[in-house]
Amino acid sequence: MNLNVKLFADGAEKKGIIEMYNNPLISGFTTNPTLMKKAGIKDYKLFAKDILNVIQDKPISFEVFSDDFKEMERQALEIASWGENVYVKIPITNTKGESSKELIERLSKSSVKINVTAIMTIEQVKLILPKLMKSRASYISVFAGRIADTGVDPIPIMKKVLKLIRDYKNIELIWASPRELYNVVQADSIGCHIITATNDILKKLNLLGKNLTEFSLETVKMFYNDAREAGFTL
């Protein structure tokens, strides 16, 4: 199956990142503090610099972790200095719900490549778009998977965002937090620029277009063999 959507790997484990870096289907990378904590990362800068020694020719996003906008700005400028391929992830608000729009505008004017993250509403997109007008390159990460977790279909929202940014040649939409491989197909079908997914989802790419009858038989064999290996009796 031919895909037009760009595939970004989302993770914080070096082994997995390098594995995906060597996969020609992967066009970029993202990470976040939660994934880094889960991976046991203790030194943020050391981890980032280590990864950037390997990944120098594909975009990679690292996130600020302060709740204070002044400190966020300092962190963002330092992170941006680590490499030409680095995008800085700025959350749409801080933990108090205060908009990051002014910070985003300042960073845009400073030529920082920005990845605005944790977006879930059209109103949030409309608020920050004018602030990204002067950015040389930006991503808008809409968390389609989390939107779907609430029982809301993310497709209409993603389509509206694509329409809103149509005239912004410097901005690309990221379908963030996918829950299954089918989300890749969905993102591709609506013309989304990028989808970022964890390795466990990306490793299923070889299943795209697989014959379902064959897949059914493989599943039956799996159940049968696992039952035998477990030594079940009745």
pLDDT tens-place string over residues 35-67 = 999 999 999 999 999 999 999 999 999 999 999
Evaluate if residue 179 carries a pLDDT over 80: yes
pLDDT at position 135 is 92
pLDDT at position 180 is 97
Cα-only R_g, the chain: 20
pLDDT at position 41 is 96
- Cβ-count burial of 65 within 10 angstroms (0-12 exposed, 13-18 middle, 19+ buried)? middle
User: CA-CA distance, 150 to 165, in Å (whole number)?
Assistant: 25
- pLDDT band with cut points at 50, 70 and 90 for residue 75: very high
Q: Tell me the pLDDT of the chain averaged across its residues.
A: 97
The mean pLDDT value for 75-86 works out to: 98
pLDDT at position 2 is 87
Please give the positions annotated as active site: 89
pLDDT, tens digit (0-9, with 9 covering 90-100), for 88-120: 999 999 999 999 999 999 999 999 999 999 999
User: CA-CA distance, 46 to 31, in Å (whole number)?
Assistant: 14
Evaluate if residue 153 carries a pLDDT over 80: yes
Domains of the chain from N-terminus onward: 6-208 (3.20.20.70)
User: CA-CA distance, 228 to 224, in Å (whole number)?
Assistant: 6
Evaluate if residue 1 carries a pLDDT over 80: no
pLDDT, tens digit (0-9, with 9 covering 90-100), for 187-227: 999 999 999 999 999 999 999 999 999 999 999 999 999 99
Strand-strand pairing, 60-63 and 86-91? parallel
179 neighbors 145 (Cβ within 8 angstroms): yes
pLDDT at position 134 is 87
Evaluate if residue 131 carries a pLDDT over 80: yes
